[in-house]
Amino acid sequence: MARATQRSEVSGRTAGPPFVMAVPALVFFAVFALVPLGGVVVLSFMEWDGLASPQWAGLAKWEQTLADPVTRRAMWLTFVFTTVSYLFQAPVALLLGVFMAGSQRYRALLSVLYFLPLIFSAAAVGITFQSLLDPNFGLSRAFNSDLLGQNWLGNPDLALFVVVFVVAWCFVPLHSLLYQAGVRQIPAALYEAATLDGAGRLAQFAHITLPQLRYTIITSSTLMLVGSLTYFDLIFVLTGGGPGGATRILPLDMYLNGFRSYDMGQASAVAVILVVVGLALGLMLNRLSGASKMESQQEGL
């Protein structure tokens, strides 16, 4: 702290703007995030159907939630969904981002096209894909192909992966954009030096691009993992958690418990689990990567 003050006297910048400027944002955050969060924690110990007055249920609600086979399955599905989503989205986004970073004209044009899904609303994407994947009137009919006429969203073994694909279609553009910006910030001098040393394209990618993208990878991974953990709208429109609960991940389980079964206690308990796991995941990624230190990768350049 002392050093910071000292330095701020010198440069007049590093101490940052006065704390007062953060007050509006903090008040906003407290009123719309922390207070409801507290409400949810309290509700998770209550029996409430949305009509009668809430009754204190103590730990019973949590026991019920953790013993509910539907919620347990939802936990497992959330784990699978998050993992598969990450394994699918991360490499595609990275490669696409690196590709988009090139300065050729056609790449700029393609980048604009790749970017499009990002600006569509999730509900519209959901309804569109539902129609495209309709086994009778969808893609299969347009292209007259039986191969495309699969039971995409109706086969319990397939539906989750179809959902992973559609969600990836929506979010890969965002992450590609992050990587594109990250790649463009890498000084060209590094590549020139490597070329002089005789490094090939793959070697340059492995030894320059990837290490230089370290923080971009961490940011993108955090968004991807926490994002898929809490992702809701598109899946809700696309499958509603079906067929037979095959895509009922935790956020959907929470919603259906709360606003279909009107069991606000159990819905709140699931919400608390999501908040805790989401925060823990974000924090862990930050710690593991040492990103909180955020030292520069470009010293000496």
Partner 1 sequence: MSHIDIGKICEGTASRRSFLGISAASALTLGLTACEGGTQPGEDPDGAGSANVWILTGGMWPVISDSVSRWNEENPDQAISVEEFENDAYKERIRTAVGAGQAPTLVLSWGGGTLADYANNDQIIDLSGATGDLEERLLPSVALNGQVNGTTYAVPVNDVQPVVLFYNRDLFAEHGLEVPETYEDMLAVSDEFQRHDVLPFALAGASVWPELKWIQYLTDRIGGPEAFQAVLDGEPDAWSHPAFMAATTRIQELVEAGAFGDNYASVAADQNADLALVHTGRAAMVLWLSSAYATFRNDAPEFTETSLGWTTFPTVDGGEGDAGNIVGNPANVFSVSAAASEREQNAALGWIGERLYDDTQIEEMIAAGAVPPVQGIADRLAESENGEFLSYSYDLASAAPHFQLSWDQALAPGPAQELLTNLSQVFLMQITPEQFVDNMNATL
Interface of this chain with partner 1, residues 74 to 103, rule: CB under 8 A: none
Beta bridge partners of 47: 55
End-to-end CA distance of the chain: 28
Number of residues that bind partner 1 (CB under 8 A): 73
If the CB atoms of residues 90 and 264 are measured against partner 1, the closer one turns out to be: 264
Work out whether 221 is an interface residue with partner 1 (CB under 8 A). Answer: no
Rounded to the nearest 10 degrees, the angle between the axes of helix 69-100 and helix 105-115 is 160
Smallest distance, Å, CB 29 to partner 1? Answer: 11
**Residue 151 binds to partner 1 (criterion: CB under 8 A):** yes
DSSP 206: I
Query: Of 156 and 290, which has the nearer Cβ to partner 1?
Result: 156
Selected binder of partner 1 within 221, 230, 286, 289 (CB under 8 A): 230
233 binds partner 1 (CB under 8 A): yes
The residue (of 178 and 209) whose beta carbon lies closer to partner 1 is 178
**Cβ closest to partner 1, residue 112 vs residue 196:** 112
Q: For residue 74, which of 290, 267, 281 has the smallest C-alpha distance?
A: 267
DSSP strands (E only) in the chain: 46-47, 55-56
* Contacts (Cβ under 8 Å, ≥6 apart) of 64: 265, 266
Q: CA-CA distance, 139 to 80, in Å (whole number)?
A: 27
Of 27 and 203, the one with the shorter C-beta distance to partner 1 is 27
Q: Using CB under 8 A as the criterion, what x/- string covers residues 159-178 for binding partner 1?
A: ------------x--xx-xx
**Which of 165, 191, 205, 232: binder of partner 1 (CB under 8 A)?**
232
Q: Report the distance separating Cα 131 and Cα 275, nearest Å.
A: 33
In terms of CB distance, is 8 or 121 closer to partner 1? 121
- Touching partner 1, residues 98-137 (CB under 8 A): 118, 122, 127, 130-131, 133-137
Rounded Cα–Cα distance for residues 5 and 22 (Å): 19
Nearer to partner 1, 10 or 25 (CB): 25
Residue 196 CB, shortest distance to partner 1, in Å, is 31
Determine if 212 is a binding residue for partner 1 (CB under 8 A): no
Cβ–Cβ < 8 Å for 247, 159? yes
Exposure of 239 in the CB half-sphere (CA atoms within 13 A): 29
Q: How far apart are CA 55 and CA 185, in angstroms?
A: 57
**Which of these segments, 15-23, 59-67, 83-91, 215-223, binds partner 1 (CB under 8 A)?**
215-223
Say whether residue 16 binds partner 1 (CB under 8 A): no
> Does residue 54 interact with partner 1 by CB under 8 A?
yes
C-beta of 34 vs 284, nearer to partner 1: 34
Q: Which of residues 235-264 bind partner 1 (CB under 8 A)?
A: 239-240, 242-245, 251, 254-256, 258-264
| Both structure tokens of 237 | 């429109």
Q: b/e per residue, 255-285, with b = 16+ CB within 10 A?
A: bbbbeeeebbbbbbbbbbbbeebeeebeeeb
Q: Assign residue 55 a region (left: φ > 0; alpha: ψ between -120 and 50; beta: otherwise).
A: beta
